[in-house]
């Protein structure tokens, strides 16, 4: 069976899709390929994501549709805007903003490779400001009854000139009201998944809070969070088995630039029991803003 990685898309260059013309391929992922396109009506470059119908299954078709519809519902400066959703004889597609920048994952990986150990974490103030903005976007999404379920650095684009973080990829998002056909599936990325996502428990907005807390820990740590874990399956099992003992060292022990108050903030966000996490992204955000005022003065 073919996969997105093995498909050839040269024939799509110059093809009209909706109100746009495809210019060149940009990237490929698990659920589609992304192209740069020119939107003739508004005379601007945009991004087009496609899912070839030859790869369609009921599940990935649902995720693709869900990604487009969830993002289209949301209008927030830190969430990728979707412009148009459509269907051709060959593929499903939707168009969105073309962001000039790299993923947060890129910057974290680059920092971890720094030859100077003390510089292998991202700057504290910048990290907290990024997460404050991401939490604002998530709070807004949660108010619209949308849970992202795959918050991670790879899904956050940093706009080059403004360094504004933009949350994207709502492919496994959940509409909180009513039953969801994907509730029985284990969805997300192991390193950032909340324990209840692994055990098929009741997943609500606090799963996104867990992921955001893990991401913040990763940004502030000069070392990998799970250095000795050899596989995704092993990590999933450890999360369930170890619970709150998953992280053996505190953030302030790993990063001397952190006050111990950050330990309490992060460990509350990544508590095994959702009831012991922050009740909302707004509450988490408030703690980070307070830390910024106390310890990150100009």
Beta carbons of 247 and 206 less than 8 angstroms apart: no
Give burial (CB, 10 Å; 0-12/13-18/19+) of 260.
exposed
Beta carbons of 64 and 29 less than 8 angstroms apart: no
Give burial (CB, 10 Å; 0-12/13-18/19+) of 261.
middle
Beta strands in the chain (DSSP E): 16-17, 20-29, 32-39, 44-52, 82-87, 91-97, 101-103, 146-147, 156-159, 165-167, 174-175
- C-alpha dist (Å) from residue 254 to 61, 153, 229, 265: 43, 20, 18, 15
Residue 58 CB coordination number (10 Å): 8
Radius of gyration, CA atoms only, the chain:
20
Written as six digits, the tokens of 143 are: 């108010």
Calculate the CA dihedral of residues 239, 154, 212, 280 and round it to 10 degrees.
-120
Instruction: Match 């003992």 to its residue by tokens.
Output: 245
Which entry of 150, 183, 244, 263 is annotated as an active-site residue? 150
The closest alpha carbon to 246, from 294, 205, 198, belongs to 198
| 263 belongs to the catalytic site | no
Q: Which residues are catalytic?
A: 150
């Amino acid at each position: 069976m073919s996969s997105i990685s093995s498909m050839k898309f040269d024939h799509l260059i110059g093809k009209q899709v909706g109100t746009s013309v495809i210019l060149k391929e940009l990237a490929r992922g698990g659920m589609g390929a992304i192209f740069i396109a020119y939107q003739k009506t508004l005379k601007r470059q945009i991004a087009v994501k496609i899912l070839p119908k030859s790869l369609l299954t009921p599940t990935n078709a649902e995720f693709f549709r869900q990604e487009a519809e969830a993002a289209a519902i949301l209008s927030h400066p830190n969430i990728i805007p979707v412009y148009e959703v459509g269907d051709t004889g060959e593929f499903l597609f939707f168009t969105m903003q073309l962001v000039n920048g790299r993923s947060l994952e890129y910057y974290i990986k680059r920092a971890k490779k720094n030859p100077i150990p003390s510089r292998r974490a991202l700057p504290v103030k910048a990290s907290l400001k990024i997460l404050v903005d991401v939490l604002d976007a998530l709070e807004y999404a949660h108010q619209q009854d949308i849970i992202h379920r795959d918050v991670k650095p790879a899904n956050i684009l940093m706009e080059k000139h403004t360094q504004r973080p933009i949350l994207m990829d709502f492919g496994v998002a959940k509409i909180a009201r009513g039953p969801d056909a994907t509730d029985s599936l284990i969805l997300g990325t192991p390193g950032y998944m909340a324990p209840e996502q692994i055990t098929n428990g009741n997943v609500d907005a606090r799963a996104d809070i867990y992921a955001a807390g893990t991401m913040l820990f990763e940004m502030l740590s000069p070392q990998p969070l799970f250095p000795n874990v050899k596989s995704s399956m092993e990590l999933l099992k450890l999360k369930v088995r170890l619970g709150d003992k998953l992280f053996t060292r505190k953030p302030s022990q790993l990063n001397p630039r952190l006050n111990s108050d950050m330990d309490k903030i992060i460990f509350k966000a990544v508590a095994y029991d959702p009831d012991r996490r922050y009740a909302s992204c707004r509450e988490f955000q408030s703690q980070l803003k307070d830390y910024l005022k106390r310890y990150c003065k100009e």
